[in-house]
A and B are shown apart, each in its own frame.
Chain A
Amino acid sequence: MVVHNAEGWLPRQLVALAGLNPRPGRLVAVDSGSTDGSAELLAKALAEGVVDDVITTATQPFGAAVAEALHDQEPEWIWLLHDDSAPRRDTLAHLVEGAKQADIVVPKLLEPKRRNYPETLSEVGQSITKGGLRVPLVEVGDIDQGQSESAEVLGASTAGLLIRGETWREVGGLAPEVERHRDGVDLCWRANAYGNRILTWPNAALTHRRAGHTGERESNEHPHVADRLAALRVVGARGASTAGLTLASVARAFGFLLAKSPSQAGAELKALRRYQSSAASTASLKDRLPAEDHTPPEFIPGRLWPVKHWLDKAGASITERYRDFTEPDTSIDELTGDDFTGVQNRRRVINPLTVLLSLLLVLSLIAGRRLYGVGDVAGGGLLPAPSTLGEAWQAYLTGEAPWLGIAASASVLGLGQPGWFTVAALVLTPVFAAWTMWRLIRRFEVGKPVAAALAGVWAVAVVLLGLVTAGDVTGMTLAVVGPLLASSLISVARNEAGGAERLRAPAVAAFWLLIVSAVWPTALILATVAGIGWIVRDRGRVVDVAVAVLPSWIFLAPWVPALVRHPGRLLTGVDPLAWPDYHPASWATVFGRILPSGLPLWANVAFFALLALVAAVALARLTRRAWVGVVVTVAAPLLIGTLLSRLVVEVDGGSARALSSPWALLVVAGLIAPIAAVQWGQLGMRRATSALTVAGLLAAGTWAVVGFNGPVGKAPTALPGYVRDVTTSTRDSRALMMELTPNDTVAWSVVDARQPQWGTGERNPAGPFAEDFAAIVNAIASGNPPDDLAERLRINGTSHVWVRGFGADHRVGVDNVAGMVSAPADDTTIVWTVSGLVSRAWLQADEDVEPIVDAQVPSGSGERTLVIAEPADANWRATVGGVELERADAVEERLAFALNGASGELRVEPAPHWWRFALHLAVFVALAILAAPTMSGPTGARRGLE
């Protein structure tokens, strides 16, 4: 038994040795340079006869210490013991039994026993990959149920290894080149190479503390250095290439960095450097190997073992998380509730969450019946989705608002079809909102029935507030993500982990805050203020707050200048200019009538009045402090939201009404909070909550009947197909649309291949030439179109004018303008085509104008300019034949590029903001790394000790 600075656990080891039956013939302890109280303990053990001899040496490797103990003797059997590997009373007996069949007997190593926990496996033999990875032959941490059977193996830890004396001599004992760790594997592997039989004998068990691995035994350097160096040397001596090992080590070091363990990464690289600089040792070890290797090849794992192992671990992790997700821990409420008081343990067959989600899913699918089928879905605050996933990403890359990237990413959930994702989001938002609220409420150990009821209340409130039927994308997002953010913040508050593991909860909170802030920037302001307040109260939370809040600021940083220019945008949601000017309700605002939901007002009044009543009943059961807190939590957002609903704010390109839905959701959350806080067991609350559940069911049923009767619905384009074909062709032209509505208002818009769609409500929806188009619209509407109408349209890249509902005078007025060719689309609609094949891009040489209709720039000479129907300062780029063109002086205040003699295929498009994409990606990757499980190697905390 080799001992080194083992004062902390040596007494237990010695007690175990004292109890051995049978004892070994001679038990020699080698004190390898201990500087603590180990020597005294050993002396005492010697005096008490626990050990037969104590040899004190300078600090030296395990193998050298063993050699010192053996001198030149060759006992029949050698039993190697660590100072932290306590054998059971009968361990040696079992090993001897196994020795009848093997040259080296490998015992079963168990993890230290924990109170009230069963024994768990640490190791029953091991192997090693060609890259030096340790390959356990049992699942570390599995409960020891005697499931392991005796088997031949490649190697094992030296702890408890019983070696035939002849074999020891034959293989030359432990190799000094493998100083610590893996020395057992090397020994056994060499024994295998000589044709010896290495056999595990699970009946023989030792409790292996692994003090060296876990860092309990103090060391000057990271324990991984020695372990990895030994592994490299073991496999290097057996033919592994240095280049391959270098590559693998660097990759592993990078992986350790991703797993937030820089010390482990440093140790990996340090071991690699030492290995590379000690080729002589590797060669020496190699010389110890026999000329002919008898090692059974099946003992060595295949090359793909690391990949399979990683996938296996990842799959197990996912499975475990899914189980945690679907089977939350039993709450105190349940353990003390009626369910556990009966004589019989009744098993709940149907989970309330399953019932809730199933019911909501069915009702939502019925309610969304008008949205299914071919065609865009839009209306209210919801603009049409881009046609393809690529266009969604293009909108993000060329647009300004960061939420477009999140929307493009989320579109993957719609099988890559943003339109499908839109429909799914509209229909399923109440379902997901219920689910996330359920998870939040369950964090407070609220019983499942109450949690399900309140999650249902939340979902119904989302519907009655009109978030889905009015296309309030911000409200929909907050309804789903808000509870997740709240839940993650609770995790941050309760976070007691240390080291890198401590960053996980704030990183998750940062992710959800980022999503929320992207759609509602006010949230970031509020979170920042709250975070600063938290830091002032508890300075130990600086890192938590920084990790939770800063990523959102970094993510939104490119957008901040726009927010500073238009601070009103902070009070609005996504695409603020997409909203028609809905006149805010008056008193009905208090009942959640903040948007035209298309649902009957009585449903709002009845539901929210009942919710407030139940909340009042619940409030009465709270402590005074909690009572005040809840009332303030309800009052503040209600009053702020009501006031803001009266406001109109300036945003980029126009003005919009402040968004009320976030505040309304906060009010609903505030009303739910006291109900959740009161225990289900109270009879009054049970009745009240049941009544609320019934009201919620009735409201949800009403929605199922009424369906999407608000602004959101199928929104087919009114433009004839031939116009759309032109606007989406290489001509990339615009179409001006005008309609005289029944209330004598002239509605108008400008349509092209990129608008209207997600994000175009972040600036003037008519595009950069809104004022020009407004003048044209006014002129046409006043019956006095200018003679140069066609030219005005041409320089704006407008190929068609679509007009509906106007009288003959207006139509004839345009008809008589030169260059406008009319064609009736239906009884009330005329489409004028601007003659001359108008395109967004044209060639200009002196006064000659030649539209580019097929994306091909013809060859030519002289001073030619490519003019784009975009503002002179527009961030567009143009390439001809793959060569990017340089900008030229603006032509008629339009963007121009110097073309000269260039010819070939023309590509003109908005310039993507790649640097912003890189920044956003970096933030997400950083958050993913921070939120990912921290590497819990041997030096990490063990589950049982957490």
Chain B
Amino acid sequence: MMRRILISAVALLVVAGVAAALSLISPMRRPAPAAVDLPRAAKLTCSLPGDVVVEGEGTPTVTPVAGGDSVDAAPGTAVAASTPVNVRADGDIAAGVVVAGTPRLFAPCASPTTTGVLLIDDPATAELLLTNADAAEASVDLRLIGPDGELSPVGSRGIAIAPGVTRPVALSILAPEGPVAVVYSTSHGRVAAVARNVEGRAARVVTPTDLREEHLIAGVPAGASSVKLLVTNPTENRVNVTTTAMGPGGSYEPASTTGLTLAPMTSQIVDVTADLSGEASTLRVVGDGELGASVITQVGTGAPTTLTDSASVTDLMGAAPSGATLQLTNPGTAAATVQTSEPGGEARTPVTIPAGATLAVESTARLRVTSETPLVGAMVVAGDEGAVVVPLAPAAGTPASPGTTVLDPELR
């Protein structure tokens, strides 16, 4: 009987063993939700007056923020705007304002946001423009972080902005000395923020960036006479910063930024001009905590230009004044083959960019760049009177990711 029991037990064990082996087969995954055609209605706000240049899909329209008639803005053409405007389109677009004056400047238009940071090296000559392009009132709080800590000036909290209104805030009063990081956040609504030099000073525009651990700042022009890295630590912890420069010959760490560390709630400016040797470059700034970073570059005797973080994607587009040079940087670890073309035109001969290198090529006024690996880039018009740097923007097909969405009937 014991033998029969053993045989029976072994038989069941074998069956269970086979089942256990089958259970090790990786289960099929439920297919991801079907790709949906995202509504791509885009709305950018251009806070400065000037010639609005739009690139992208759909039929963009330009409408004054304060209200008024809309004007169609065909890609590749400029629409003169004397007041802040909204640019709307049914697809992804990039837009900027070529600001009139001396020297000429390019100020990218951006979506209104609830938070952001503007890094300003000389606040004594600057003013902040806060534009509420929405239909609801916005209320903005400012935090100013200087080299020695956070400033607490009167009037930096609860700045109310009515719909369609652009409100200037004189930074010279709030923070007379620089560098300073202006961190803005809204308790209601959202705003488009930009800083510019006050009248009477050389024209200059600073666009906002986000607080994050890594910044890729493209568009440092070749032959820059001055390149400064401005970083800020808005947190209550010390942040160690590692900077990598990506030039034509590859990537390297600028000596001036070695061991760079930021005390809590401080801003710091580092001159990396000598490290870059006047080469067209992109800087990668990485912190072990959230930080804000921008690069202030100057060509010739012109006014400084502030560069901020660019999106690293595989499909880029941009539009710039004629005579621009395209600077493309491959921040990846493998060489990238890049195809450039003028929208609607023939593709140009592909170029290869080594990993961590920046390549400068001749550009057209309107440009589309595609690659198998993510790139950053900018269109640079440099001259003795300064430089206009137009960062390339994500083109159609690269919308902001909504993350993973899952239909869940239990949510009720």
**A residues in contact (CB < 8 Å) with B:** 378-379, 383-384, 577-578, 580-581, 583-590, 612-613, 615-617, 619-621, 627, 631, 634-635, 638-639, 642-643, 645-648, 654-657, 684, 715, 717-719, 737, 739, 744-749, 751, 755-756, 760-761, 764-766, 770-771, 774-789, 792, 808-809, 812-813, 815-816, 818
Contact = CB atoms under 8 A, between A and B. Distances in A.
Given A645-B23, A756-B412, A784-B399, A765 B31 contact: no
A771 B33 CA distance: 10
B43 to A, nearest CB: 7
A586 B42 CA distance: 47
A452 B24 CA distance: 36
Contacts of B43: 787
Nearest to A649: B28
A684 B1 CA distance: 11
B294 to A, nearest CB: 21
B23 A816 contact: no
A378 B9 CA distance: 40
19 contacts: A383-B409, A577-B409, A584-B27, A590-B20, A620-B1, A646-B28, A756-B410, A771-B34, A775-B38, A777-B405, A778-B405, A779-B39, A781-B402, A782-B38, A784-B40, A784-B41, A784-B42, A809-B113, A815-B189
B23 A648 contact: no
B309 interface: no
Contacts of A737: 411-412
Nearest to A779: B39
A635 B12 CA distance: 8
B94 to A, nearest CB: 15
A648 B29 contact: yes
Q: Per DSSP, are chain B's interface residues mostly helix, strand or loop, or mixed?
A: loop
B27 A646 contact: yes
A655 B30 contact: yes
Contacts of B33: 774
Contacts of A780: 402
Given A774-B36, A812-B190, A583 B27 contact: yes
Interface of B: 1, 4-5, 7-9, 11-12, 15-16, 18-20, 22-31, 33-34, 36-43, 88, 112-115, 134-136, 186, 189-190, 399-412
Contacts of B41: 784, 786-788
A760 B408 CA distance: 12
Contacts of A760: 409
Contacts of A747: 405-408, 411
A779 B33 CA distance: 14
B291 to A, nearest CB: 20
B31 A648 contact: yes
B8 A784 contact: no
Nearest to B113: A809
B407 A770 contact: yes
B402 A749 contact: no
A577 to B, nearest CB: 7
B23 A590 contact: yes
A755 B11 CA distance: 48
B8 A620 contact: yes
Contacts of A612: 9, 12, 16
Contacts of A580: 408, 410
Given A383-B409, A745-B404, A642 B30 contact: no
Contacts of A638: 15-16, 19
B20 to A, nearest CB: 5
Contacts of A746: 402-406
A590 B412 contact: no
A433 B7 CA distance: 32
Nearest to A778: B402
Nearest to A648: B28
A657 B29 CA distance: 9
Given A638-B16, A774-B33, A812-B190, A782 B412 contact: no
Contacts of A770: 407
Contact of B406 (A587, A745, A812): A745
A816 B408 contact: no
A887 B190 CA distance: 46
A590 B16 CA distance: 6
A634 B136 CA distance: 68
B245 to A, nearest CB: 32
A284 to B, nearest CB: 78
Which of A379, A616, A781: most chain B CB closer than 10 A?
Answer: A616
A774 B405 contact: yes
A792 B404 CA distance: 22
Given A655-B31, A764-B407, 9 more contacts: A615-B8, A615-B12, A631-B11, A645-B27, A776-B39, A778-B38, A812-B134, A813-B190, A818-B135
Contacts of A779: 38-39, 402
Given A378-B410, A638-B19, A779-B402, A787 B88 contact: yes
A634 B12 contact: yes
Nearest to B26: A646
Contacts of B113: 809
A325 B206 CA distance: 88
Contacts of A745: 403-406
B36 A643 contact: no
A783 to B, nearest CB: 6
A31 to B, nearest CB: 73
B408 A748 contact: yes
B37 A775 contact: yes
A368 B373 CA distance: 56
Contacts of A657: 27, 30
A812 B43 CA distance: 14
A573 B42 CA distance: 44
Contacts of B408: 580, 739, 747-749
Contacts of B12: 612, 615-616, 619, 631, 634
A868 to B, nearest CB: 23
Given A584-B27, A589-B19, A620-B7, A783 B190 contact: no
A900 B23 CA distance: 63
Contact of A634 (B1, B15, B135): B15
A816 B136 contact: yes
Which of B24, B39, B134: most chain A CB closer than 10 A?
Answer: B39
Contacts of B409: 383, 577-578, 749, 755-756, 760-761, 765
Contact of B407 (A590, A766, A815): A766
Which of B27, B112, B400: most chain A CB closer than 10 A?
Answer: B27
Contacts of B114: 808-809, 812
A498 B42 CA distance: 79
Given A378-B410, A748-B411, A787-B43, A586 B404 contact: no
A621 B1 CA distance: 8
A822 to B, nearest CB: 9
Given A746-B403, A766-B407, A751 B5 contact: no
Query: Which 3 pairs from chain A and chain B are nearest by CB?
Result: A786-B39, A781-B402, A620-B4
B181 to A, nearest CB: 20
B8 A627 contact: yes
Contacts of B20: 586-587, 589-590
B30 A782 contact: no
B8 A617 contact: yes
Nearest to B2: A620
A635 B15 contact: yes
A782 B41 CA distance: 12
A808 B186 contact: yes
A583 B28 CA distance: 9
Nearest to B400: A782
A778 B399 CA distance: 11
Contact of B5 (A616, A648, A766): A616
Contacts of B88: 787
B378 to A, nearest CB: 24
Given A747-B411, A751-B412, A774-B36, A809 B27 contact: no
A717 B412 contact: yes
Contacts of B29: 648
A185 B33 CA distance: 82
A642 B22 contact: yes
